[in-house]
């Protein structure tokens, strides 16, 4: 989501006459778009500011430093107190006001009534083959570990017509794949347009080949959305559906509003709709009170689901969240050991998933150059990175390959020369 917001901030400043600098060391204005989800991400901004403060441009001028994003939202004026080199602090819902703020300086962490999306300039004329589109922001779920409901505010969906128009603009600019984004993307609703309706409308945009969405909450995974995985050929067979823990006791303490069994039941329904769906998730280790038995339940759900990918994090106490003041905080060395074990287990299931793909024929959307000459890297329908050597192919092409070899994080694809049978 920060990638999407950063692109929009770039477009906004370009419309004001700014141009992208080759690197931060030569920029007149530096915007740090920040993340507050874990302490490590939030602290990084202060070291970045320190580095910028020490830097000078060839003409001796100091850069204007803007802190945007969720650290700006959460820490506001404190940032200027702690880092006086910062000129502007702007939250994720107010960055459309940045052009005026660059002239006046200051702090703006309002949750404005006007939507930034209504005033941001149009999308760039040329965009990558795989592009993001924010359709929903905010969160009403209040998991006890998470700052998002406080930094991003309440769940808010963008109007469906505006989203279809933005999708058409992105496809006109070269996008062949769109990933719809939201903190709770599947909670999307615009008057009578459900999230499944939105997927169907965007899938119908001419020229769009692939559609994805992230991140979802299990409690908004309804029948209609599950059916979309069966009915929409553009919707790729991949779902990121965080579970956080395999222990019911912890899921309750996390206020996740689902159990291990109810989560697994959703996956059964998804697999009935789309047998080959690849699953991904998020996990937290070391949530307050997590015992060896709770952690063992997390390892066992990873094996039971057989995740194709998963992201795992050490619990990080966040200011203002209920879990931060819970008793039984887990010692750091225990968190470290559990994280290592979990990541090794996820590595095993991911490798098993990739190995099971060897022998399949699939399409790959080429996104970037590889290291070897003639090599390109793209994504399979299951979001695996696939290396392809094809002198005739270029970035943005969709090529058909045979998956011939698997690594933990990638596969090798041999291009298939398709010949049309004579009529």
Contact status, residue 317 vs residue 287, Cβ threshold 8 Å:
no
The number of beta carbons lying within 10 Å of the beta carbon of residue 193 is 18
Which one, 25 or 35, has the nearer CB to ligand 5AD? Answer: 35
Binding track over 80-119 against ligand SF4, x by CB under 6 A: ----------------------------------------
Length of the chain in terms of residues written: 423
Please name which of 91, 110, 88, 109 lies closest in space to residue 100, comparing C-alpha atoms.
88
**Least CB distance to ligand SF4 at residue 183 (A):** 5
Give me the torsion for CA of 44, 46, 47, 48, rounded to 10°: 80
Q: Is 65 helix (H, G, I), strand (E, B) or coil?
A: strand
Which one, 218 or 242, has the nearer CB to ligand 5AD? Answer: 242
Between CA 232 and CA 139, with CA 256 as vertex, the angle to 5 degrees is: 65
Which one, 151 or 357, has the nearer CB to ligand SF4? Answer: 151
- Pick the binder of ligand 5AD from 95, 213, 295, 313 (CB under 6 A): 313
Q: Name the one range near ligand 5AD by CB under 6 A: 47-55, 72-80, 85-93, 310-318.
A: 310-318
Strands 156-157 and 136-137: antiparallel
Between CA 155 and CA 172, with CA 179 as vertex, the angle to 5 degrees is: 115
* Site residues (CB under 6 A) for ligand SF4, limited to 112-171: 139, 141-143, 146, 148-149
Which one, 342 or 406, has the nearer CB to ligand 5AD? Answer: 342
What are the two backbone dihedrals, phi and then psi, of residue 137, each rounded to the nearest 5 degrees? -135, 160
Residue 318 binds which of ligand SF4, ligand 5AD, none (CB < 5-8 A, kind-dependent)? ligand 5AD
Which one, 86 or 139, has the nearer CB to ligand 5AD? Answer: 139
Question: Torsion-angle region of residue 207: left (phi > 0), alpha (psi -120 to 50) or beta?
Answer: left
> Does 145 participate in binding ligand 5AD (rule CB under 6 A)?
yes
**Least CB distance to ligand 5AD at residue 370 (A):** 29
Q: Is 356 helix (H, G, I), strand (E, B) or coil?
A: helix
- Pick the binder of ligand 5AD from 7, 11, 197, 282 (CB under 6 A): 282
The site that binds ligand SF4 (CB under 6 A) totals a number of residues, namely: 10
**Least CB distance to ligand 5AD at residue 402 (A):** 35
- Pick the binder of ligand SF4 from 217, 229, 314, 338 (CB under 6 A): 217
Residue 397 CA, distance from chain mean position: 23
Residue 295 binds which of ligand 5AD, ligand SF4, none (CB < 5-8 A, kind-dependent)? none
Q: Name the one range near ligand 5AD by CB under 6 A: 61-69, 127-135, 256-264, 315-323.
A: 315-323
Residue 183 binds which of ligand 5AD, ligand SF4, none (CB < 5-8 A, kind-dependent)? ligand SF4
Distance CA 210, CA 368 (A): 17
Question: Torsion-angle region of residue 56: left (phi > 0), alpha (psi -120 to 50) or beta?
Answer: beta
Which one, 144 or 300, has the nearer CB to ligand 5AD? Answer: 144
Contact status, residue 132 vs residue 4, Cβ threshold 8 Å:
yes
Binding track over 33-52 against ligand 5AD, x by CB under 6 A: ----xx--------------
Question: How is residue 85 written in tokens?
Answer: 């080199």
> Does 315 participate in binding ligand 5AD (rule CB under 6 A)?
yes
Residue 263 CA, distance from chain mean position: 21
- Pick the binder of ligand 5AD from 180, 199, 221, 284 (CB under 6 A): 284
* Site residues (CB under 6 A) for ligand 5AD, limited to 226-255: 242, 244
What b/e readout covers 268-279, taking b as 16+ CB neighbours within 10 angstroms? eebeebbeebbb
Strands (E) across 52-124 are located at 64-69, 88-90, 106-108
Element (H, E) at 115: none
Q: Residues interacting with ligand 5AD, by CB under 6 A?
A: 37-38, 145-146, 242, 244, 282, 284, 313, 315-316, 318
Q: Residues interacting with ligand SF4, by CB under 6 A?
A: 139, 141-143, 146, 148-149, 183-184, 217
């Amino acid at each position: 989501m920060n990638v999407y917001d950063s692109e929009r901030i770039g477009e906004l400043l370009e419309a004001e006459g700014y141009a992208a600098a080759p690197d931060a060391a030569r920029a007149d204005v530096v915007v740090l778009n920040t993340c507050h989800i874990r302490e490590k991400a939030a602290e990084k901004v202060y070291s970045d500011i320190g580095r910028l403060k020490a830097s000078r441009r060839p003409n001796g001028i100091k850069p204007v430093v803007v802190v945007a994003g969720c650290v700006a939202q959460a820490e506001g004026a404190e940032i200027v107190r702690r880092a006086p080199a910062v000129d502007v602090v702007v939250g994720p819902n107010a960055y459309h006001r940045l052009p005026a703020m660059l002239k006046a300086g200051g702090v703006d962490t309002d949750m404005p009534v006007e939507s930034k999306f209504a005033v941001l300039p149009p999308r760039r004329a040329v965009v990558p083959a795989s592009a993001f589109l924010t359709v929903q922001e905010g969160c009403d779920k209040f998991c006890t570990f998470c700052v998002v409901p406080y930094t991003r505010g309440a769940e808010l969906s963008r109007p469906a017509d505006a989203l279809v128009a933005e999708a058409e603009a992105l496809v006109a600019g070269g996008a062949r794949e769109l990933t719809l984004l939201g903190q709770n993307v599947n909670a999307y609703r615009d008057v009578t347009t459900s999230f499944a309706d939105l997927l169907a409308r965007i899938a119908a945009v001419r020229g769009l080949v692939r559609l994805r969405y992230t991140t979802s909450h299990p409690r908004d995974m309804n029948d209609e959305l599950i059916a979309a995985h069966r009915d929409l050929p553009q919707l790729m067979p991949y779902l990121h559906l965080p579970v956080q823990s395999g222990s019911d006791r912890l899921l309750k303490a996390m206020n996740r509003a689902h159990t291990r069994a109810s989560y697994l039941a959703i996956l059964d329904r998804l697999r009935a709709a789309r047998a080959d769906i690849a699953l991904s998730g998020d996990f937290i280790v070391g949530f307050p009170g997590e015992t060896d038995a709770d952690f063992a339940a997390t390892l066992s759900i990873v094996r039971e689901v057989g995740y194709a990918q998963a992201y795992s994090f050490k619990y990080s106490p966040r200011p203002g969240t209920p879990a931060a003041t819970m008793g039984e905080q887990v010692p750091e060395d225990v968190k470290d050991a559990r994280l290592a074990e979990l990541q090794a287990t996820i590595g095993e299931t991911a490798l098993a998933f990739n190995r099971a793909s060897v022998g399949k024929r699939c399409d790959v959307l080429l996104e970037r150059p590889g290291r070897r000459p003639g090599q390109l890297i793209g994504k399979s329908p299951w979001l695996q990175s696939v290396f392809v050597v094809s002198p005739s192919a270029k970035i943005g092409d969709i090529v058909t390959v045979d998956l011939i070899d698997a690594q933990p994080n990638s596969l090798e694809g041999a291009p298939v020369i398709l010949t049309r049978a004579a009529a």
